Amino acid sequence: MKDPDVIEVVQEAAPAEVAELDLYQKREKIYTRKIEGFYQRLRLFTGWPLLLGYYLLPWVSINGRQAVWFDLPEREFHIFSLTFWPQDFPLLAFLLIISAYSLFAVTVSAGRVWCGYTCPQTVWTSIFMWIEQKTEGSRNQRIKLDKAPWSAEKAARKSAKHAGWFFVAFMTGMTFVGYFYPIRELFWELATFSTGKWQILWTVFFTLATYVNAGWMREQVCKFMCPYARFQSVMFDRDTLIVSYDPNRGEPRGSRKRDADRATLGLGDCVDCDLCVQVCPTGIDIRDGLQYECIGCALCIDACDSVMDKMGYPRGLIRYTSENELEGGTTHWLRPRVLGYVAMLIVMVGVFSYNVATRIPLEMTVIRDRNQLFVETTDGAVENIYKLHLVNMDGSPHAFTLSIDGIAGAELLGNTRYTLEGGEDQTISLRVRARPEALSAPSTEMTFTVVAEDMPSLRAVAESRFMRPL
């Protein structure tokens, strides 16, 4: 039997504390402060080319055709002067692998620079934040505006902001659909309200997706939806370049006058101004150490450097550095892990480039008739029946000549010349006749060759077997 006094003493010494954790907390809006600096200008030079490329590429024409156009109904994928087909999907898979390895290599070396400078979520969020600042004012003005009761001025500013958001979102959605549907036709059909239901559906979908992701969710996408934020930690090592606060130099933090002697006050370089927090698009405090929410945008570096300049302190209290460097060591750039990624990338890019450069836009498959192994003619010859499938993956029409090789004296029965339009495929049924004395075995290897008459380099070869009686 338990002693009640003992239990009571334990309860008094260590009372139970039960805390309730709400997993579905309401999002707290982040009011970012505008900041200028080197890294902010760098973001402009990385983001604007991507934006211009995204919006302008569908409007560029090459030889009367949209330069980048993924024609799903026709199963044609036009990328500048090249046309790819479903048969080329291994190249696409290879390209995705190269992209993944590139991302891994960059992450191991320089952390989340992709997130901070070139990720579409970051770029579009920056545009939406710029519109917000232009219509609603600075950080303090936006906070004051949200707390103020509704008025004509508040309604006008909010309406202008959302109108700007919807315009950018609509242009983004329409442009995305324009990669799969001729954008000139799409633009005119949308302007005249004559477009089809599917074009309207996808345009509305991507418009709303852009509006919600960049306008309302913002950091939520980076923190909870993006898988890259979760698995990046396994790619970091002590030499990875990350945005970090130097506690050895900054602590103990505290406010002081500009001309105060920090050594006399016993303070570090950090003045505890919280500007690094106010400019952060994900709302974190970089002084708390490396966090998965950090996207490596370096806005906190620009903010901190501006304060250091005003205080007369050296820059770099918050900087791109590594754990080894923070602890007094050096950053090892040429380490085996990085070299391995670079070597693999060089090999994969080389193989991919070679395959694209030597790619022949012609495909031929040969299937021998399995219902009837062979046919013996009255004059003693042997015939086999074949079915050929030709695909002209070139954008231009060509006349092709078909021939066979491997069996002496063998002849093709039927038409040996075929004209295929660009992107056309044909299924051909034909017979091959050979004399028994030319066949050394019951199964003899032979090859079919098809060549474009106006382009000898456009050729395809397929192997098959010729059967005779035992």
Residue 195 and residue 188 in contact, taking contact as beta carbons nearer than 8 Å: no
State pLDDT tens for residues 223-279. 888 888 777 778 888 999 999 999 999 999 999 998 888 889 999 999 999 999 999
Per-residue pLDDT at 82: 82
Question: What CATH number is given to the structural domain containing 427?
Answer: 2.60.40.10
The residue out of 359, 394, 413 marking a domain boundary is 359
447 and 371 inside one domain: yes
Q: Are residues 34 and 172 in the same domain?
A: yes
Q: Are residues 343 and 458 in the same domain?
A: no
- Whether 305 and 238 map to the same domain: the answer is yes
Q: 190 lies in a domain? A: yes
Structure tokens at 215: 């306008």
Of all residues in the chain, the percent with pLDDT exceeding 90 is 57
Is residue 11 one of the residues assigned to a domain? no
Which residues make Cβ contacts (< 8 Å) with residue 171, sequence separation at least 6?
55
Banded model confidence at residue 87, pLDDT cuts 50, 70, 90: confident
Q: How confident is the model at residue 1 (pLDDT cuts 50, 70, 90)?
A: very low
Mean pLDDT in residue range 178-194: 93
Question: Which of 62-66, 341-345, 457-461 is predicted least confidently?
Answer: 62-66
| Residue 15 belongs to a domain | no
* Counted domains in the chain: 2
* Residue 20, pLDDT score: 57
Q: Mark whether 305 and 375 lie in a shared domain.
A: no
Mean of pLDDT values over 177-181: 95
**Would residue 379 count as lying in a domain?**
yes
Quote the pLDDT of residue 439.
87
| Residue that finishes a domain, picked among 312, 334, 359 | 359
User: Residues 98-144: pLDDT tens digits?
Assistant: 998 898 899 999 888 999 999 999 999 999 999 999 999 999 999 99
* pLDDT given at position 54: 95
Q: Is residue 450 part of a domain?
A: yes
Query: Tell me, what's the pLDDT at 371?
Result: 79
pLDDT digits (tens, 9 = 90+) for 92-102: 899 999 998 89
Q: Are residues 393 and 353 in the same domain?
A: no
Question: Does residue 324 belong to any structural domain of this protein?
Answer: yes
Pick from 174, 162, 150: which is nearest to 212 by CA? 162
The verdict on 378 and 247 lying in the same domain is: no
Q: Is 7 a residue whose pLDDT tops 80?
A: no
Domain that holds residue 111: 28-359
| pLDDT value of residue 178 | 96
Overall average pLDDT of the 333-351 stretch: 92
Residue 230 shares a structural domain with residue 280: yes
Residues 366 and 347 occupy one common structural domain: no
Say what the pLDDT of residue 22 is: 56
Residues 118 and 221 in one domain: yes
The per-residue pLDDT for 231 is 78
Average pLDDT across the chain, whole number: 88
Question: Is residue 170 one of the residues assigned to a domain?
Answer: yes
Domain end (from 306, 335, 359) = 359
Residues 96, 188: one domain? yes
* Percent of the chain with pLDDT strictly greater than 70: 95
pLDDT at 59 over 90: yes
Whether 3 maps to a domain, the answer reads: no
Query: Is the full-model pTM beyond 0.85?
Result: no
pLDDT above 50: residue 4: no
Output the pLDDT for position 76. 84
321 with 377, same domain: the answer is no
Per residue in 403-437, pLDDT tens?
999 888 888 888 889 999 887 888 988 899 998 88
Give residues with Cβ within 8 angstroms of 320, minimum separation 6.
110, 111, 241, 242, 243, 244, 298, 301
